[in-house]
Amino acid sequence: MKKKHLILLLALSFAFVVFSCKSESKKEAKEETTTDVKKDAITLTDAEMAKAKKIFFNTCAGCHGTTRKGATGPSLLPDGDGKFPATKDLGTEALVQIITNGLPGGMPDWGRQGVLTPEETELMAKFVQLPPPPVPKFTMADIKKAWHLIVPVADRPTKPMTKRNWKNYFGLILRDAGKVAIIDGDTKERVAILNTGFAVHILRTSNSGRYFYSIGRDGKVTLIDLWPETPQIVAESKASFDARSVEVSKYNGKLGDFRDKYIIVGGYTPSHYVIFDAMTLEPLKLVETKGKVLGKGEFLDEARVASIVASHHDPLWVVNVKETGMVWLVDYSNLDKIDENTAKIPTAQYLHDGGWDHTGKYFLVAANAKNKIVVIDVPNKKLVTIIDVGIKPHPGRGTNIHNKKYGWLWVTGHIGQGVLACIATDPGPNQWKVVKNITMEGAGGGNLFVKSHPKSKHLWADRALSSDPKLQRSIYVYDINSLELIKTFTVPEKYKGRAVHMEYNKNGNEVWVSVWGKKNETTSAVLIFDDKTLQLKKEINGDWLITPTGKFNVYNTANDIY
């Protein structure tokens, strides 16, 4: 075997996954400077090192960690970590091939897509063979300095000023444009485009539905008021250099009415969560999440907050701390005692996305590097079980469907394997068991999202991270009772990009799918399907539609319908 082939085979032996986790941080670029670095004949200038750090932070850190110790993807350390090969032993040539072409387990083909140029690809191959730079600080003082109240609460409308059906608005992320578009779900008209910060990850609504909260991968949180005739940004702040999650308080009960009182933002870099006033975004509390793995192992400074959900039954946020494998149940009823009132439950690494079962009492979350789904009984603050599923589960929030044979099921797809795991959630002998693995057509994995609706007979799934260009553009529809494939859609040829993220409208009779193209192309779209006839009924397009990804319907998001 030629040396070149041997190196490539070794490189391909560690199948890692990298999500596009882009964020911008001028402060990071300013504070993190370096002199020439030399190791094993690799030398980067100050300018090259600054560029490489930005690319890694934008594109790779989400899965491999800012300190490159690994999470969803493996570690990328020069000397290895005992589990994965040392990057300096793999060498530049093999690393260039991986970064260019991707891997079947979900590693995107950054070079082949054109996201990275050949020069940038080689730069990153060299960069990961050098020691990782230190993680910068971001303090409460920095957060307070970033806070900007644009429209005080007293100056906002006291009733909707629009005649549109604002509860059927969609918030559409225009990822690389750093914007969010508000679209009227009834008329399909664009209502507003708002500058929200780079690479928004998700949108969440206030409990009332009036406000959208956006969180970007640059750590910027934005408060959008939907009641004016044209929706507008009324406050903004910054919780960290990098973030993924935001959620509002939803509890109303004997301990008080906390609906829309607070929001929480989970930081990736640095690792902490921040609580803000929900109406003004005034920062109130910062809590670091660093700690021991599963409560007793190695101590980690980088213990990033992945997903967060809010309980309707208790004054709790479910906060998933990725690297440590700890689920925190954060009790916000008394911010002065938040540390002592927080329950910390050891589960499994590395925690990622998840959602509620249909009762809203059990939370299911992926520990995707371990191929597990963790089930938490939130009212009783305890771990129920850990379920073996396929390779690298990625549920998003998952979806709940009612099947005639098995009753209620919660479904997750997988990045690393072409299966959809259907987990029974009703009490009985099948509870918390995978009762059906739906095999997806085509080799490999690549599923990012699944979606259904209480009024629908269908389960929808994408393949956005497949290494197969055809599968990337495919949308699958399954019958929720037979659990069999009934139709496959392919993105029309006039649009360029991957099919990603399904969202229903308020009435549950339409499914909106993004065609996620490149930033420099104007051939992206949002495709709208009739959920009953399974026909394409509307195409939203235009040069303003730059890298559309997630879509969030106001009513469904406010009511946790998924």
pLDDT at residue 106, as a whole number: 66
Res 105: pLDDT: 64
112 in a domain, yes or no? yes
Do residues 59 and 199 both lie within one domain? no
Task: Read off the DSSP letter of residue 158.
Answer: S
Give yes or no: residues 406 and 487 share one domain. Answer: yes
| Residue among 85, 113, 84, 86 at smallest CA distance from 99 | 113
Does a structural domain hold residue 49? yes
Determine, yes or no, domain membership for 355: no
The reply to whether 84 and 144 lie within a common domain is no
Helix boundaries (H) for 102-139:
110-113, 118-127
pTM recorded for the entire structure: 0.84
Contacts of 221 (CB under 8 A, 6+ apart): 213, 214, 215, 236, 237, 238, 239, 243, 246, 263, 265, 276, 281
Q: Looking at the annotation, which residues are catalytic?
A: 60, 63-64, 107, 352, 394
- The CATH number linked to 91 is 1.10.760.10
Strands, E assignment, 115-155: 148-149
Could you read off the pLDDT tens digit of each residue along the chain, which spans 562 residues?
343 333 333 444 433 333 333 333 333 333 333 333 334 578 888 888 888 887 887 778 767 877 777 776 778 888 887 677 888 888 898 888 888 887 766 677 788 777 888 888 888 888 888 888 877 789 999 999 999 999 999 999 999 999 999 999 999 999 999 999 999 999 999 999 999 988 899 999 999 999 999 999 899 999 999 999 999 999 999 999 999 999 999 999 999 999 999 999 999 989 999 999 999 999 999 999 999 999 999 999 999 999 999 999 999 999 999 999 999 999 999 999 999 999 999 999 999 999 999 999 999 999 998 999 999 999 999 999 999 999 999 999 999 999 999 999 999 999 999 999 999 999 999 999 999 999 999 989 999 999 999 999 999 999 999 989 999 999 999 999 999 999 999 999 999 999 999 999 999 999 999 999 988 887 999 999 999 999 999 999 999 999 999 999 999 999 999 9
Please give the pLDDT value at position 423.
98
- Shared domain check, 301 and 445: no
CA atoms of 195 and 525, how far apart (whole Å): 19
Claim to verify: residue 161 and residue 72 sit in the same structural domain: no
Do 327 and 401 have their domain in common? no
- DSSP letter string over 508-552? S-EEEEEEE--TT-S--EEEEEETTT--EEEEE--TT--SEEEEE
Q: Nearest 5°: phi and psi at 112?
A: -65, -35
547 and 444 belong to one structural domain: yes
CATH number at residue 226: 2.140.10.20
Same structural domain, 194 and 318 = yes
Res 391: pLDDT:
96
How distant is the alpha carbon of residue 412 from its chain centre? 14
C-alpha span between 14 and 2 (Å, rounded): 20
Of 346, 375, 408, which marks where a domain is finished?
Answer: 346
* Residue 359 resides in a domain: no
Number of compact structural domains in the chain: 3
Rounded Cα distance, 244 and 266, in Å? 6
Both 150 and 109 in one domain: the answer is no
Q: Where a domain ends, among 313, 346, 379?
A: 346
By residue range, what is the domain housing residue 84? 3-127
| Distance in angstroms (rounded) separating the CA atoms of residues 40 and 62 | 27
Which residue bears the tokens 């940038």? 120
Co-location of 452 and 426 in the same domain? yes
Does residue 440 lie within any of the structural domains?
yes
Contact (CB, 8 A) for 477 and 489? yes
Residue 182 counted as domain residue: no
Q: Are 4 and 93 in contact (CB under 8 A)?
A: yes
Question: Hey, what are 133's tokens?
Answer: 């730079």
What sign does the CA torsion over 254, 260, 261, 264 have?
positive
Same domain as 144, residue 75:
no
- Same domain, yes or no: 70 and 144: no
Say if 79 falls within a structural domain: yes
Q: Is residue 224 part of a domain?
A: yes
